[in-house]
């Protein structure tokens, strides 16, 4: 973490005996980084998955009561960089209130960013975090995008919208194709494409953790590769199809930036590490060209597959926002300068910030030993506030070198050998890295010898007699040496105690109060382990010869105590059960009602929490005190919370007067209505009014104790009108089409929902990559709407090729064209194939040509036309398949949860390697032509389609294939599915009962005897009947081959328990089977399985696993089956 601030602060008296801190702070640069290494990962992942209440507690820090009046601004250069997230922010915040209870208002905006891992990441097109006064949790509004690809090869632009509380935002997925959220989540998480070298877009981003950037010798390069391989720059568990097992499985994907532009990527299945593991090395020649080599252990082949691919991007998806050129730099490369300043084609640099950029690059040169360097930034072209074409004119000067190291102040103590450190290497640059290395090694060596108060200051001083020669001048203060001696400790070691003060890693020097801090930390450590009566004393002894201080710390651990009961006294109005209901967090509830040990700090926090609950429930003068009461024998204690409720001030009735009838009234809080509840509701009313154009409302409340009524009075004021609409940034697009898509007319009222929906419409066209909509006041209650867009390229093109030892010559490419229509319609061509020279055919691959119209005939219907060839490896079926298809689909999603689709598909299938026992007719092998109509109607009334807690989902679908349509088979099918979720609670534990029922049937007619094998139903596996192999249920042939069926029935029943807001555990009972209707439909033949599972409820859907066991296991079937699960199946 690094932070550079500038500004002015002043401390004054706001009232007698009360201090106030005010001023402005400019954030010049901030960088928050978090890396992961393998050791840290192994150590921390279990604790992250299975956090206890004690692990997640929040400590309250008691701060002095100082009034605040601060302004904090950052125009750019605020970075958050982790293996999971990268973002550049700007912000404008105001902080009022007190130091103990600050009141933050304002917002943080993303200039650019991403979240997710590797090629499965979302790029943030716009994002804001809002801080509202009196609101405990900031709110979030993010719009991001990604491209997802299914196994069929479709390339879909996926838009993610997140809004609401920062801790639990509502997430919605949409696309330029009109898919439902469930389809998009499945598409995004299912993994796709064909096997082979995957070239990942890694290096072309300024928001990633930095690779090594210093100039290295050959030996140092080799050493860097060896020693650096243990750390990882990016780690994810991603879904990928296991070709051998034929199912989706978790894949560990680790990425290491070995050198600039060189990345090592390893992939291995979590459950079966030997299946299709892959190791690849990628080198990025330029931003447009990448080379990747790989070695794969492909289980379908006898040997590992070696592959190499070269990819070239002719036209990328989005043009650069910033054109950047460097002039005059020779010693430091353009790549290093870009990385040091986090400059990339998507960087947003305000014109007002150019002097800060000049200063920052100059400091970077000075840190590298160029003390005479200077930089001039010239903005050649600007778009409103930001530079679009920037030139950096650099005068480097000569690099300074270190002539010698001189030590001033205290001498190095005897016994501390630093002679090698003071031997300066030849031509050592006088840079910051060398200075930090020398000073850090001196401090570490001294601390190991007990000089914990040592401090050192270093600087470079020019030698007047030699040009570009510098002396590294060090001023050392060693302080008094210290020894800590611990006696009486059996539970914890000396190392455990010293870790509490971070002895060796701490950067700041230790002071005279170190012993007091150490003893306090030790006492806290014992209390947390249940040793309530542990006492710690220390004596100080000074050696008269060496002046060394020896702290002899004596510990009396005493006995471990446990809690007998937690009691509440004085709570006549709010019973213990009512208090439990008012604490929704299981972790907090467990810490209060069911603690393991009596920890004084936690008890004080719990008392504060209870007092806050009482105030919220209408007891403004309530007080709560927590005490520990020892019981006989001392091994047990009671924790007693003594509550003084005092008078309650609430109303049973709430009246709203003056709220505009044309607006939806926000849901009222649950009675009774206390003052804090009323204030929270007033805040909600205030925001609702502002969001709908009443920008200066007046809202206040009045409590009538005689009528027991709380009245909220509203004077909404005049509603703000959009007088003008200005669209900026149009270059190649058609302005009329953009205005029509925006659909905001002059004279409309200001409405946040209207603005958000307009932005969504523009982004869904796929024509723009960013939309910023702001307002400018032009006169009272009249605003100008400024819509600034960043165009995408109307044409994109990338292609490549290579070779694979197992599959042959590899050719791939993708092109899209929206310039033919300029209204969102597009043509896209994609191919990804392997040609085997030895067999003279395509070994695997796909190719498709797609036309997409998001507004068919200027209606809400979307049209997709797709021509596709696909060679599919079906490892869980009794056949292999080559398929050519042409499909047309009309679809629409409704805002009330409904969706509708109707289409026609023509298939030509070539069925090969069909197991003989699975063949029922001539339609089950060789060439097959199918032509059918299909439709789907659905209604989704769940509260959240991605992480549902309640509601239901219904769907009906049908198919009709006929010779009249050009089909070789005549059949029709009907299917239906219904699922529901019913939440309930026991005590303070949250549960849900979830059930999913699905049934499908097909019938032949006009001489067709059997449904073709590729269109039959199959069950078994992770999304159907867990505990069985994929597609393994139903009738079998004489040789044991799975035949499939023309009737299927499935039911999944789950009991889900939610130990926390982001975790669920469940037990399940699945039943189902497939049948041939020509045989007897015997529901007694249903197969059953049961098991357990766990889910992490991520913002974009559940991720977890199931372990299933067949209840009626048959010979050859597995007793236990592990299933990795991404997304909600019901």
pLDDT for 1022: 83
Lowest mean pLDDT among 282-291, 323-332, 1032-1041: 282-291
In angstroms, rounded to a whole number, what is the distance separating the alpha carbons of residues 1074 and 1018?
7
What average pLDDT does the segment 892-911 reach? 88
User: Is beta strand 401-409 parallel, antiparallel or unpaired with respect to 469-477?
Assistant: parallel
pLDDT for 276: 54
pLDDT, tens only, 1049-1073: 999 999 999 887 778 999 999 999 9
Is pLDDT larger for residue 517 or for residue 1022? Answer: 517
Q: How confident is the model at residue 164 (pLDDT cuts 50, 70, 90)?
A: confident
Q: Contact, 573 vs 645, CB < 8 A?
A: yes
pLDDT for 177: 62
Average confidence score pLDDT of the chain: 83
Take residue 207 and report the two structure tokens written for it: 């928001």
Is pLDDT larger for residue 824 or for residue 955? Answer: 955
Q: How confident is the model at residue 236 (pLDDT cuts 50, 70, 90)?
A: low
Give the DSSP per-residue string, 903-952.
Answer: EEEEEEEEEES--GGG--SGGGSEEEEEEEEEEEEEEE--S-SSS-SSEE
Is pLDDT larger for residue 222 or for residue 353? Answer: 353
Take residue 463 and report the two structure tokens written for it: 């030698």
Does residue 672 have a cis peptide bond before it, meaning omega lies within 30 degrees of 0? yes
Give the DSSP per-residue string, 213-271.
Answer: -S---HHHHHHHHHHHTTEESEEEEEEEEETTTTEEEEEEEEEEEEETTEEEEEEEESS
Strand extents, DSSP E, 433-501: 455-462, 469-477, 482-487
What average pLDDT does the segment 430-450 reach? 93
Collect all residues with Cβ–Cβ distance below 8 Å to 927 and sequence separation of at least 6: 908, 909, 910, 911
Evaluate if residue 257 carries a pLDDT over 70. Answer: no
**Residues pairing with 670 in the sheet:** none
Evaluate if residue 197 carries a pLDDT over 50. Answer: no
Q: Contact, 1106 vs 1093, CB < 8 A?
A: yes
Evaluate if residue 213 carries a pLDDT over 50. Answer: no
User: Is beta strand 562-569 parallel, antiparallel or unpaired with respect to 636-644?
Assistant: parallel
Q: Contact, 768 vs 723, CB < 8 A?
A: no
**Residues pairing with 7 in the sheet:** 25
- DSSP code, position 380: E
Q: How confident is the model at residue 1092 (pLDDT cuts 50, 70, 90)?
A: very high
Q: How confident is the model at residue 393 (pLDDT cuts 50, 70, 90)?
A: very high
Evaluate if residue 810 carries a pLDDT over 50. Answer: yes
- How distant, in Å, are the alpha carbons of 316, 547, 551 from that of 544? 74, 5, 15
Evaluate if residue 203 carries a pLDDT over 70. Answer: no
| SS3 category, 636 | strand
Residue with tokens 């029509």: 740
pLDDT, tens only, 285-319: 877 888 888 876 554 444 567 889 999 999 887 77
What average pLDDT does the segment 975-998 reach? 90
Q: How many CB atoms lie within 10 A of CB 287?
A: 14
What average pLDDT does the segment 798-815 reach? 90
In angstroms, rounded to a whole number, what is the distance separating the alpha carbons of residues 333 and 215?
11
Is pLDDT larger for residue 456 or for residue 86? Answer: 456
Collect all residues with Cβ–Cβ distance below 8 Å to 106 and sequence separation of at least 6: 72, 91, 92, 93, 94, 130, 131
The backbone torsions φ and ψ at residue 777, rounded to the nearest 5 degrees and listed phi first, read: -75, 130
User: Is beta strand 951-961 parallel, antiparallel or unpaired with respect to 289-296?
Assistant: unpaired
Q: Contact, 1078 vs 1048, CB < 8 A?
A: no
Q: How confident is the model at residue 167 (pLDDT cuts 50, 70, 90)?
A: low
| SS3 category, 654 | strand
Q: How confident is the model at residue 471 (pLDDT cuts 50, 70, 90)?
A: very high
pLDDT for 1111: 94
Evaluate if residue 467 carries a pLDDT over 80. Answer: yes
Take residue 4 and report the two structure tokens written for it: 């550079």
What is the three-state SS of 996-1049? EEEEEEEEECCCCCCCCHHHCECCCCCCCCCCCCCCCCCCECCCCCECCECEEE
Give the DSSP per-residue string, 485-514.
Answer: EEES-SSS-HHHHHHTTTTTT--SPP-TTH
Q: Contact, 439 vs 474, CB < 8 A?
A: yes
Evaluate if residue 20 carries a pLDDT over 80. Answer: yes
In angstroms, rounded to a whole number, what is the distance separating the alpha carbons of residues 957 and 1001?
11
Q: How many CB atoms lie within 10 A of CB 536?
A: 19
What average pLDDT does the segment 826-841 reach? 86
Take residue 192 and report the two structure tokens written for it: 């796709």
- Element housing 143 (H / E): strand 139-149
In angstroms, rounded to a whole number, what is the distance separating the alpha carbons of residues 178 and 271?
35
pLDDT for 117: 44
State what percent of residues in the chain have pLDDT above 70.
83
What average pLDDT does the segment 496-522 reach? 87
Q: How confident is the model at residue 365 (pLDDT cuts 50, 70, 90)?
A: very high
Evaluate if residue 8 carries a pLDDT over 60. Answer: yes
Evaluate if residue 486 carries a pLDDT over 50. Answer: yes
Collect all residues with Cβ–Cβ distance below 8 Å to 964 and sequence separation of at least 6: none
Lowest mean pLDDT among 34-38, 858-862, 946-950, 1082-1086: 34-38
| SS3 category, 577 | helix
Evaluate if residue 557 carries a pLDDT over 50. Answer: yes
Is pLDDT larger for residue 784 or for residue 1127? Answer: 784
The length of the chain, given as a count of residues: 1130
pLDDT for 359: 92
pLDDT for 51: 41
Take residue 289 and report the two structure tokens written for it: 């060209």
pLDDT for 1060: 78
Evaluate if residue 956 carries a pLDDT over 70. Answer: yes
pLDDT for 47: 43
Q: Contact, 63 vs 391, CB < 8 A?
A: no
Take residue 461 and report the two structure tokens written for it: 């001083």
pLDDT for 137: 66
Q: Contact, 996 vs 1052, CB < 8 A?
A: yes
What average pLDDT does the segment 845-850 reach? 88
What average pLDDT does the segment 221-242 reach? 47
pLDDT, tens only, 37-72: 444 444 444 444 344 333 444 444 556 778 888 999
User: Is beta strand 139-149 parallel, antiparallel or unpaired with respect to 120-131?
Assistant: antiparallel
What average pLDDT does the segment 876-881 reach? 86
b vs e for 376-408, b when ≥16 Cβ sit within 10 Å of the residue's Cβ? ebeeeeebeebbbebebebebeebbbbbebebe
- How distant, in Å, are the alpha carbons of 92, 914, 1000, 1034, 1048 from that of 974? 57, 27, 6, 19, 11
Evaluate if residue 347 carries a pLDDT over 80. Answer: yes
pLDDT for 680: 83
Q: How confident is the model at residue 155 (pLDDT cuts 50, 70, 90)?
A: low
Evaluate if residue 587 carries a pLDDT over 90. Answer: no
Evaluate if residue 1116 carries a pLDDT over 70. Answer: yes
Q: Contact, 891 vs 178, CB < 8 A?
A: yes
pLDDT for 255: 65
Q: Contact, 1044 vs 921, CB < 8 A?
A: no
User: pTM for the complete prediction?
Assistant: 0.69
pLDDT for 768: 87
Evaluate if residue 552 carries a pLDDT over 50. Answer: yes
Residue with tokens 């003068």: 621
Helix segments in 239-351, DSSP class H: 334-341
pLDDT for 924: 95
Rg of the chain taking only CA atoms, in angstroms: 34
Q: How confident is the model at residue 136 (pLDDT cuts 50, 70, 90)?
A: low
pLDDT for 36: 46
Output the CA torsion sign for 448, 451, 454, 460.
negative
pLDDT for 182: 63
Single out the residue of 118, 51, 113, 106 nearest to residue 79, CA to CA: 113
Longest dimension (CA), the chain: 110
């Amino acid at each position: 973490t690094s932070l550079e601030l500038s500004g002015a602060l002043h401390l004054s008296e706001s009232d007698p005996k009360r201090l106030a801190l005010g001023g402005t702070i400019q954030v010049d640069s901030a960088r928050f980084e978090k890396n992961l290494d393998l050791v840290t990962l192994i150590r921390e992942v279990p604790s992250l998955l299975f956090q206890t209440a004690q692990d997640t507690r929040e400590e309250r820090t008691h701060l002095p009561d100082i009034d605040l009046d601060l302004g904090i601004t950052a125009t750019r250069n605020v970075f958050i960089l982790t293996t999971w997230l990268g973002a550049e922010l700007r912000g404008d915040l105001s902080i009022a209130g007190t130091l103990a209870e600050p009141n933050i208002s304002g917002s943080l905006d993303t200039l650019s960013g991403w979240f997710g891992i590797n090629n499965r990441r979302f790029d943030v097109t716009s994002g804001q975090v809002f801080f509202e006064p009196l609101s405990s949790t900031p709110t979030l509004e993010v719009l991001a995008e990604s491209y997802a690809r299914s196994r069929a090869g479709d390339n879909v632009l996926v838009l993610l919208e997140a809004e609401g509380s920062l801790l639990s935002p509502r997430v919605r997925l949409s696309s330029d194709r009109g898919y439902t959220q469930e389809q998009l989540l499945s598409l995004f998480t299912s993994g796709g494409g064909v096997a082979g070298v995957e070239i990942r877009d890694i290096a072309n981003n300024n928001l990633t953790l930095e690779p090594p950037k210093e100039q290295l010798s050959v030996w140092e390069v080799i050493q860097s590769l060896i020693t650096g391989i243990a750390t990882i720059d990016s780690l994810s568990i991603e879904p990928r199809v296991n070709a051998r097992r034929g199912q989706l499985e978790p894949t560990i994907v680790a990425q290491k930036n070995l050198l600039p532009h060189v990345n090592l990527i390893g992939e291995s299945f979590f459950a079966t590490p030997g299946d299709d593991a892959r190791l690849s090395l990628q080198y990025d020649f330029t931003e447009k060209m990448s080379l990747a080599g790989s070695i794969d252990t492909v289980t379908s082949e006898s040997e590992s597959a070696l592959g190499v691919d070269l990819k070239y991007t002719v036209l990328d998806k989005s043009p650069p926002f910033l054109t950047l050129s460097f002039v005059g730099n020779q010693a430091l490369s353009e790549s290093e300068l870009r990385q040091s300043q986090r400059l990339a084609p998507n960087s947003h640099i305000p014109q007002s910030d150019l002097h800060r950029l000049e200063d920052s690059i100059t400091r970077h040169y000075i840190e590298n030993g160029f003390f005479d360097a200077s930089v001039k930034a010239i903005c050649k072209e600007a778009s409103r506030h930001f530079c679009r074409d920037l030139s950096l004119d650099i005068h480097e000067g000569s690099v300074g070198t270190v002539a010698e190291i001189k030590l001033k102040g205290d001498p190095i103590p005897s016994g501390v050998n630093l002679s090698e450190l003071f031997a300066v290497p030849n031509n050592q640059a006088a840079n910051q890295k060398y200075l930090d290395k020398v000073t850090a090694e001196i401090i570490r060596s001294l601390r190991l010898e007990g000089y914990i108060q040592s401090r050192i200051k270093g600087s470079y001083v020019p030698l007047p007699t030699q040009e570009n020669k510098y002396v590294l001048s060090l001023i050392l203060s060693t302080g008094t040496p210290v020894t800590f001696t611990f006696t009486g400790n059996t539970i914890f070691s000396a190392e455990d105690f010293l870790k509490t003060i971070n002895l060796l890693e701490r950067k700041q020097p230790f002071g005279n109060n170190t012993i007091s801090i150490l003893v306090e930390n030790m006492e806290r450590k014992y209390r947390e382990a249940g040793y309530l009566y542990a006492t710690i004393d220390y004596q100080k002894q000074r050696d008269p010869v060496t002046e060394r201080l020896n702290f002899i710390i004596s510990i009396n651990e005493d006995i471990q105590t446990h809690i007998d009961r937690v009691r509440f006294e004085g709570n006549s109005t709010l019973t213990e059960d009512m208090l439990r209901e008012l604490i929704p967090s299981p972790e907090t509830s467990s810490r209060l009602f069911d603690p393991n040990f009596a920890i004084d700090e936690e008890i004080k926090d719990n008392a504060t929490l209870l007092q806050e609950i009482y105030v919220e429930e209408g007891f403004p003068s309530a007080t709560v005190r927590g005490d520990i009461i020892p019981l006989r024998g001392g091994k047990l204690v009671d924790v007693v919370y003594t509550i003084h409720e005092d008078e309650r001030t609430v109303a049973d009735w709430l009246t709203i007067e003056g709220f505009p009838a044309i607006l939806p009234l926000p849901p009222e809080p649950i009675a009774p209505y206390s003052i804090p509840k009323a204030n929270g509701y007033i805040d909600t009313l205030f925001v609702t009014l502002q969001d709908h154009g009443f920008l200066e409302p007046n809202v206040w409340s009045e409590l009538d104790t005689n009528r027991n009524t709380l009245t909220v009075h509203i004077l909404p004021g005049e509603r703000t009108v959009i007088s003008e609409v200005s669209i900026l940034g149009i270059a190649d697009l058609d302005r009329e089409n953009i205005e029509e898509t925006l659909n905001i007319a002059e004279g409309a009222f200001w409405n946040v929902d209207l603005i958000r929906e307009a932005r969504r419409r523009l982004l869904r066209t796929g024509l723009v990559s960013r939309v910023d909509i702001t307002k400018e006041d032009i006169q009272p209650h009249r605003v100008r709407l400024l819509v600034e867009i960043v165009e995408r390229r109307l044409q994109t093109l990338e292609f490549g090729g290579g070779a694979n030892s197992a599959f042959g010559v590899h050719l791939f490419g993708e092109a899209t064209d929206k310039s033919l229509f300029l209204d969102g319609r597009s043509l896209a061509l994609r191919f990804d194939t392997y040609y085997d020279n030895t067999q003279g055919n395509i070994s695997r691959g796909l190719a498709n040509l797609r036309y997409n119209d998001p507004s068919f005939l200027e209606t809400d219907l979307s049209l997709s036309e797709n021509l596709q060839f696909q060679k599919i490896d079906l490892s869980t079926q009794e056949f292999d398949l080559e398929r050519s298809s042409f499909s047309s689909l009309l679809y629409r999603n409704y805002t009330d949860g409904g969706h509708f689709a109707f289409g026609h598909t023509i298939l030509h299938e070539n069925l090969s390697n069909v197991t003989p026992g699975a063949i029922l007719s001539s339609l089950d092998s060789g060439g097959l032509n199918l032509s059918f109509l299909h439709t789907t109607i659905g209604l989704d009334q769940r509260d959240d389609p991605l992480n549902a807690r309640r509601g239901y989902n219904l769907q009906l679908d049908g198919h009709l294939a006929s010779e009249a349509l050009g089909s070789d088979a005549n059949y029709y099918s009907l299917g239906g599915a219904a699922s529901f979720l019913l939440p309930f609670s026991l005590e303070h534990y949250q549960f849900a009962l979830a059930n999913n029922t699905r049934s499908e049937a097909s019938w032949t007619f006009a001489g067709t005897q059997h449904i073709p094998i590729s269109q039959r139903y199959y069950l078994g596996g992770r999304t159907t009947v867990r505990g069985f192999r994929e597609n393994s249920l139903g009738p079998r042939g004489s040789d044991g081959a799975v035949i499939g069926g023309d009737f299927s029935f499935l039911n999944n029943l789950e009991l889900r328990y939610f130990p926390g807001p982001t975790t669920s555990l469940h037990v399940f009972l699945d039943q189902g089977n497939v049948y041939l209707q020509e045989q007897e439909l015997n529901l007694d033949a249903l197969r059953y399985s049961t098991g357990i599972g766990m889910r992490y409820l991520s913002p974009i859907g559940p991720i977890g696993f199931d372990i299933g066991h067949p209840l009626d296991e048959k010979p050859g079937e597995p007793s236990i089956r592990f299933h990795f699960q991404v997304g909600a199946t019901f």
